[in-house]
Structure 1
C-alpha cells in the first residue's frame, strides 16, 4: 500500500461521498448505541454533546431542546452535534484517505479506534466533558470502541462506493 496516492482528487465528489457516508454512519452509530448503550441513564440525562455545548456557554434550555415523534421525546440538539461530528469526520476521512491510503487500512478500523482514543479517552476527559478514562465503566469503553469501529467501517464502505460512482459519472460526461 503506497503512503501517498498521486492520482488527482475529485474534491467535490469526496465531500459529497463523505457527507453521505457521515449521515448513514451516524444512523448506524445511533442504532449501535440502542443495542449497547455506552452510558447509564443517569449519565445520559445530560449527554456528552449537551455537556460540551454547555461548557461553551450554551444554556441548558437550548442544549436540552427536544422534539416529539411517535410518543418519544428526542434531543434534536444532541442529534445536530452527533451528525455534525459524524459527517465532518467522514468527509475528512474520505478526502485524506484518497491521498493517504494507509488511513483506510482495514476499512477504517484503526482510524475509528484512533478517533475513539483521541476523543473519549483524551480530549473529552481533559475538557471535563466526560469522566477520566479510568473512571468510565468498562461497558462504556466496549460500546464506544466497537461503535467507533462500526461507524468508521460504515464511512469507509459508503464513502468509497459513493465516491467511485460520482467519479465514474464525471468521466462519462
Structure 2
C-alpha cells in the first residue's frame, strides 16, 4: 500500500517512523532533525522546517577547496553544494516541499538517490581526498543542541 502523508501529518515523529519502517536507524534525534546512515555509512541529517514546509537532506564534510564546490554544483545532479559557516565544511543538501502532502515512497526514493550520490561522490569524485568524513553534531554530547548551518535553497531563501 502506498503511504501519502497529508501536510498536517508531516512531522518529525512521522518521518522518523517512516525511516525506521524503511530499515534505517535513527541517530541523534533533536527538535527539528535527526540523523540516518547511508548504505556506505555516511551520516545524513534529515531536517524538517514546518514553517516553510520543507523536508531537507543534509550531509556535512570537511573541505579543502572552494573550486570543488563549484565543480560539484555544475557536474552533479540533485544536490546543492555550499560552504558551511567556517567555510571549511562542504554542506550537501536537497530540500523538497510537502506543502500539499508528501508521498512517502517518493521521499524515500529521493533520499536513496541523495545518499547514493554522496556515496558515489566519495568513491569516484574524491581522488585528491579533499573531502573527509564527519559532521559537527554527529558525536555531540548534548542531543538537544542544534548546530545552525545556513544553507541557500534553490529559490534563494536562506534555510536556518
In proportion to residue count, which structure has more strand? 2
Q: Whose radius of gyration is greater, 1 or 2?
A: 1
Same fold (TM over 0.5): no
- Report the structure, 1 or 2, having the larger helix content: 1
The structure, 1 or 2, with the larger RCO (C-alpha pairs under 8 Å, 6+ apart) is 1
**Alignment TM-score, normalising by the size of structure 2:** 0.31
TM-score (normalised: structure 1)? 0.29
